[in-house]
Amino acid sequence: MPSSSIVQPSSVPSQIFTSAESFSNKLLNDKPTMIITSLAILLSLLILEQTVYRVKKGSLPGSKWTIPVIGKFLDSMNPTLEGYKKQWASGELSALSVFHIFIVMATTNEYTRKILNSPAYTEPCLVASAKQVLCGDNWVFLNGKEHVDYRRTLNGLFTRKALAVYLDSQDSITRQHFTEWLAAAKKDPSPQSIMHTTRYLNMHTSLRVFCGPHIPEEAIKIISDNYWKITLALELVNFPLAIPGTKVYGAIQARKIAMKHLEAACRDSKIWVANGGETTCMIDQWVRDLQDATEKAIADGNGKIPRTFSDREMALVLLSFLFASQDAMSSGVIYMFQHLADHPEILAKVREEQKIVRNGDYTKPMTLEQVDQMVYLRAVIKESLRLKPPVTMVPYKATKAFPISPFYTVPANSMVIPSIYPSLHDPNVYEDPHLFLPDRWLDPESKANANPKNFLVFGAGPHRCIGVEYTNINMACVMGNAAALLNWEHVRTPESDEVQMIATIFPKDGCLLRFSPRQE
């Protein structure tokens, strides 16, 4: 076969094979050509892949070549904070590629804020699997005016009045779990990791705050047991196909289970509110807000009747809240337990404040007014979140070519990642950034307070966390009650200060604590 046929395959199509024998002879004769053709195509694709990567990367730091097809997939499967620190140290902007997704990582506060505040060029994409797990029609994927309008409705679920209603559930569930933790510790006094117990406490609290009495206790347990599959699928880039056995497939099954129960709760709440039931939870609050706005519009005769929300739409919102809060809140609370155990002098001050604010009576449920007065505890929470921010980075996508600096334009459709961690550890803003120093938040003139733009624990811009106040109150409720009602001893291991990244960050040894009851 002449070599020209390699580049001119069209020279053969008119040939008709008249027998099976001549066909197989032809195949045997053509075998070397087919191999050479395939190799040539493969080589061209590899060269094209490397060229596209290098053109997109331009002058940014990062590997000169990318591993064919998978890129840095293996690194992204086992991410480490050390690995990310290396990437951040490589430049203010740096590049990598995973499964042909070109990624630009921003390190500085300036670039990070620019990505978060440029809705004309960027939108959150969470992680690559997020649309499969959360459903493409989830409100969190809206942008621009549609997003602003939707979010305005949801803001009503986080007013001070609404937060005061939720605090009762938060307080009673926290106490219930502490009682169970103490009973377990009495049975087995050996130190135990608090990873799963804290996650269950958070899931239980979230689902009662969101759904009140409209979700049965067994459903909470089922959702909680399955939710870990969602957490495991939150890698930056997953294996692209959601086939049985993959993490994304497991997460989709877990979401289906959660959605079934959340939709049922929304249905139940609508009936409850229509029958005059009191507001017990977030969905009741939402249904009541809509009912009140509708009645007002009719009474005013202005025609501004609010849109209705189906059970599925409401359940998708609750799913987005669960998704946003479960891992982040667990990380925040676990590190609080660790930091306070490792700094007994700070825990002593938290206890002193609890005693004063609550008049030494820890039997009464915590109130919002009391949380307002816990100035020291709130500084401790802020510092714990700064030192170990649960969310170290937030993946965004460039919806069009994004001129992030005078020297570099992020190519359209790339992933562009604002990094939160470096801003929170900037030594120019936080002296001794690796130390746990809550006092830095108590002086209004401190560098930390003078530079709020660096405090990116909850992001910034149009998609800034909607649950900031709820988070602060919940952490105050859990840690205020823990300080008052529990003693805990941290059994340190060589891995206590190492960080494990599973969607958010956790101490690598799971934080081993020994609990006992506290009497003042």
* Shortest Cβ 416–ligand HEM spacing (Å): 12
Structure-token pair, residue 248: 């994304």
Which spans in 58-108 are helix H? 73-77, 81-89
Structure-token pair, residue 379: 């500084």
Nearer to ligand HEM, 329 or 387 (CB): 329
By the rule CB under 6 A, 314 interacts with ligand HEM:
no
* Shortest Cβ 515–ligand HEM spacing (Å): 22
Residue nearest to ligand HEM (CB): 459
Nearer to ligand HEM, 239 or 470 (CB): 470
Identity of the amino acid at 213: P
By the rule CB under 6 A, 467 interacts with ligand HEM:
yes
By the rule CB under 6 A, 506 interacts with ligand HEM:
no
Nearer to ligand HEM, 130 or 185 (CB): 130
Contact flags string 381-400 toward ligand HEM, x per CB under 6 A: ---------xx--x------
Secondary structure element (H or E) that encloses residue 506, with its range: strand 504-507
> Is 135 known as a binding-site position?
no
Nearer to ligand HEM, 242 or 333 (CB): 333
CA gap 505, 499 in Å, rounded: 6
Secondary structure element (H or E) that encloses residue 515, with its range: strand 512-517
Residues 379-416 as b/e (b if ≥16 CB within 10 A, e otherwise) read: bbbbbbbbbbbbbbbbbbbbbeebebeeebbbbeebbb
Structure-token pair, residue 396: 């965004």
Beta carbons within 8 Å of 422's beta carbon, 6+ residues apart: 88, 107, 108, 109, 112
By the rule CB under 6 A, 269 interacts with ligand HEM:
no
Nearer to ligand HEM, 242 or 501 (CB): 501
* Shortest Cβ 277–ligand HEM spacing (Å): 22
CA gap 472, 329 in Å, rounded: 10
Structure-token pair, residue 100: 């042909």
Contact flags string 60-99 toward ligand HEM, x per CB under 6 A: ----------------------------------------
* Shortest Cβ 35–ligand HEM spacing (Å): 50
- Number of Cβ within 10 Å of residue 427's Cβ equals 9
Map the footprint of ligand HEM across residues 127-146, applying CB under 6 A: 140
Contact with ligand HEM (CB under 6 A): which of 222, 465, 486, 499?
A: 465
Contact with ligand HEM (CB under 6 A): which of 1, 182, 466, 491?
A: 466
Give which of 395, 400, 420, 424 is closest to 410, Cα–Cα. 400
Contact flags string 99-128 toward ligand HEM, x per CB under 6 A: -----------------x-------x----
By the rule CB under 6 A, 419 interacts with ligand HEM:
no
Torsion-angle region of 132 (φ positive above 0: left; ψ -120 to 50: alpha; else: beta): alpha
- Number of Cβ within 10 Å of residue 298's Cβ equals 12
For residues 486 and 175, is the Cβ–Cβ distance under 8 A? Answer: no
**Binding-site residues:** 465
> Which stretches of the chain bind ligand HEM, using CB under 6 A?
116, 124, 140, 151, 320-321, 324-325, 328-329, 332, 390-391, 394, 457-461, 463-467, 470-471
